[in-house]
A and B are shown apart, each in its own frame.
Chain A
Amino acid sequence: MLSTPMFANGGRMKEYHHSGSTECRFSPYAYNGGTVLAVAGEDFAIVASDTRLSEGYSIHSRDSPKCYKLTDTTVLGCSGFHGDCLTLTKIIDARLKMYKHSNNKSMTSGAIAAMLSTILYGRRFFPYYVYNIIGGLDEEGRGAVYSFDPVGSYQRDSYKAGGSASAMLQPLLDNQIGFKNMENVQHLPLTLEKAMQLVKDVFISAAERDVYTGDALKLCIITKEGIKEEMVPLRKD
């Protein structure tokens, strides 16, 4: 089932009828698609992901969400290579437990972000093929989003899209949440209702135009009351 020549292009599909010679070389990576999004508000954060798990032209599962709950105030979204996502989340869970046992408190979002950066950089020469975005509340209760590259470079943002449809979603978020490239517009603070509607609309658009995004959308809404989850159906084609 794993057809090596299909992944020679760095994970994306090559043309369907490939003429000419094919070089077969084992690659330790596969590309499973998926899109993740996180938005931070004044006192909330939303982490959303689609639930499609694909490989090449196939869909492995329609119910494989990419949001992982880390603590009561932090959710991690990871997309890319599913194998590395699973291992990475296991390692993070173990490190969280160790921290809790040694320090008698849960890790804060900022601390988890810094730790994830060093975990990723530890594999600088054989990276985890994962695009991570952490969403949560910081110590003051304000929403925080941290976005990463596969080797651990990170920064705090107020919104970020990662994964296969990220290049489609990020400009839309820049415009609607960051008010970029608009003039004479009132900069209203983002409410939870507006943010949720925006996230749903944005994923519906992504499912229209990206083959790796679809099936369903899982939203994790993080407030000081806790983490609420919501599932929204998306296009299944």
Chain B
Amino acid sequence: MYDFGDARSAGKTSGNALELYVPVLDYLSQSPINFGQIASNTLPSHPPLFQSPTPLSPSCLPVSIPLLSSSIPPSPSVPLPFPLSHGTTTLAFFQHGVIVAVDSRATAGSYIASQTVKKVIEINPYLLGTMAGGAADCSFWERLLARQCRVYELRNKERISVAAASKLLANMVYQYKGMGLSMGTMVCGWDKRGPGLYYVDSEGNRVGGDLFAVGSGSMYAYGVVDSGLRPELSVEEACELGRRAIYQATYRDAYSGGVVNLYRVHSQGWERVSQDDVLQLHQQYKAEAGCL
């Protein structure tokens, strides 16, 4: 499970960068309801406003973005009586483009909510985003990112770079830092600078690199990839390395499992390489080890 600890920043959330991208939303600066929140010293200057025109407002923006508290110290949401979907292993590394491998399990507490989750989000034909952490957070923000990338394309008449796309995502979630979002994602793609891979999370990290593994099973995946990665791997060997790394992570991590989805991003865009059930991979590797 992607672990964030209890980071609560004391200062104000940063200004209205979101308004640059989404111009018409001024309800974003109104304060949300102060209902049952843990924050002890709530500022007296902001009377709790009970307002939710968002779901019903027929504005040009069909998306209802969660309200930001602009000056109240950001605190986690109302104590929830239920667990949210978490837990995963995702992996991406540079080799003949970018190889992206993910598992497909979603857990809510100790209950397995689904074994068939799609954790790779196809932002556009040459950009992929992976999902780790809170399922709703990842899918919502990456869907919003897909929209922003399309708007960029329309405004600038050229494709967005991987660096810019990851920066858009990082800036969007930074507004909500400390409020309890849980998202650890990798933005993978191919632009005019070649292959691109950035790790973005809801803590505000955005870092480029050539190998990342994210999620509760990431340590197991790192072990396998680090020991098997060599510069002269072929495409099939690189894909097999990614697949094996995720399989080993699902073997040891209770919160990862299901199927291994493998994608590759090359100069013409992304392609879906394979989908393998972990149980079948287990039989296959056992048979191979038995033959040796």
A11 cross-chain contacts in B, Cβ below 8 A:
81-82
Q: Please state if B117 and A126 are interface contacts (CB–CB under 8 Å).
A: no
Q: Please state if A126 and B58 are interface contacts (CB–CB under 8 Å).
A: no
Q: Please state if B81 and A155 are interface contacts (CB–CB under 8 Å).
A: no
Cβ of A215 to closest chain B Cβ, rounded Å: 24
A168-203 near B? 1/0 per residue, CB < 8 Å:
000000000000000000000000000000000000
Q: Please state if B140 and A155 are interface contacts (CB–CB under 8 Å).
A: no
Q: Please state if A155 and B66 are interface contacts (CB–CB under 8 Å).
A: no
Q: Please state if B81 and A124 are interface contacts (CB–CB under 8 Å).
A: no
Is A61 in the interface zone, CB < 8 Å from B?
no
Q: Please state if A127 and B80 are interface contacts (CB–CB under 8 Å).
A: yes
A127 cross-chain contacts in B, Cβ below 8 A:
77-78, 80
Q: For the complex, what is the distance from the CA of A31 to the CA of B180, rounded to whole Å? A: 23
Surface stretch bound by A, among B30-38, B186-194, B261-269: B30-38
B180's closest neighbor in chain A, by CB? A125
B66 cross-chain contacts in A, Cβ below 8 A:
121-125
Interchain CB contact (< 8 A) of A122 among B64, B79, B108: B64
Q: For the complex, what is the distance from the CA of A190 to the CA of B261, rounded to whole Å? A: 27
A106-126 near B? 1/0 per residue, CB < 8 Å:
000000000101111111111
Given the interface contacts A121-B66, A125-B179, A150-B84, does A26 sit within 8 Å of B36 by beta carbon?
Answer: yes
Is B139 in the interface zone, CB < 8 Å from A?
yes
B49-63 near A? 1/0 per residue, CB < 8 Å:
000101110100011
Q: For the complex, what is the distance from the CA of A233 to the CA of B35, rounded to whole Å? A: 40
Q: Please state if A126 and B111 are interface contacts (CB–CB under 8 Å).
A: no
Q: For the complex, what is the distance from the CA of A151 to the CA of B77, rounded to whole Å? A: 12
Cβ of A9 to closest chain B Cβ, rounded Å: 8
Q: For the complex, what is the distance from the CA of A95 to the CA of B114, rounded to whole Å? A: 28
Cβ of A161 to closest chain B Cβ, rounded Å: 11
Cβ of A225 to closest chain B Cβ, rounded Å: 30
Q: Please state if B80 and A95 are interface contacts (CB–CB under 8 Å).
A: no
B113 cross-chain contacts in A, Cβ below 8 A:
149
Q: Please state if A91 and B180 are interface contacts (CB–CB under 8 Å).
A: no
B63-93 near A? 1/0 per residue, CB < 8 Å:
1111100000000011111101100000000
Cβ of A197 to closest chain B Cβ, rounded Å: 25
Is B116 in the interface zone, CB < 8 Å from A?
yes
Is A44 in the interface zone, CB < 8 Å from B?
no
Q: For the complex, what is the distance from the CA of A149 to the CA of B78, rounded to whole Å? A: 17
B163 cross-chain contacts in A, Cβ below 8 A:
none
B115-150 near A? 1/0 per residue, CB < 8 Å:
011100000000000000011110110000000000
Interface size class of B (residues with CB under 8 A): 35 or more
Q: For the complex, what is the distance from the CA of A126 to the CA of B136, rounded to whole Å? A: 14
A150's closest neighbor in chain B, by CB? B82
A101's closest neighbor in chain B, by CB? B58
B52 cross-chain contacts in A, Cβ below 8 A:
122-123
B108's closest neighbor in chain A, by CB? A149
Is A167 in the interface zone, CB < 8 Å from B?
yes
Is A152 in the interface zone, CB < 8 Å from B?
yes
Interchain CB contact (< 8 A) of A117 among B55, B116, B118, B140: B140
Q: Please state if A129 and B82 are interface contacts (CB–CB under 8 Å).
A: yes
B77's closest neighbor in chain A, by CB? A125
Is B98 in the interface zone, CB < 8 Å from A?
no
Is B1 in the interface zone, CB < 8 Å from A?
no
B117 cross-chain contacts in A, Cβ below 8 A:
155
Q: Please state if B82 and A91 are interface contacts (CB–CB under 8 Å).
A: no
Q: Which residues in chain A, 22-52, are within 8 Å of chain B measured between CB atoms? A: 25-29, 31
Is A226 in the interface zone, CB < 8 Å from B?
no
Is A138 in the interface zone, CB < 8 Å from B?
no
Q: Please state if A98 and B58 are interface contacts (CB–CB under 8 Å).
A: yes
Q: Please state if B33 and A126 are interface contacts (CB–CB under 8 Å).
A: yes
Q: Please state if A95 and B55 are interface contacts (CB–CB under 8 Å).
A: yes
Is B106 in the interface zone, CB < 8 Å from A?
yes
Q: For the complex, what is the distance from the CA of A125 to the CA of B67, rounded to whole Å? A: 8
Cβ of B276 to closest chain A Cβ, rounded Å: 16
Q: Please state if B56 and A91 are interface contacts (CB–CB under 8 Å).
A: yes
Q: For the complex, what is the distance from the CA of A91 to the CA of B55, rounded to whole Å? A: 7
Q: Please state if B84 and A151 are interface contacts (CB–CB under 8 Å).
A: yes
Can you identify 19 A-B contacts, CB atoms within 8 angstroms? Answer: A80-B82, A95-B56, A115-B62, A117-B136, A117-B140, A118-B63, A118-B64, A120-B136, A121-B64, A121-B66, A124-B140, A125-B32, A125-B78, A126-B33, A129-B80, A150-B80, A150-B84, A151-B134, A153-B85
List the interface of chain A (C-beta within 8 A of B).
Answer: 7, 10-11, 25-29, 31, 80, 91, 94-95, 98, 102, 115, 117-127, 129, 147, 149-155, 157, 167
> Which 3 pairs from chain A and chain B are nearest by CB?
A122-B64, A153-B135, A10-B81
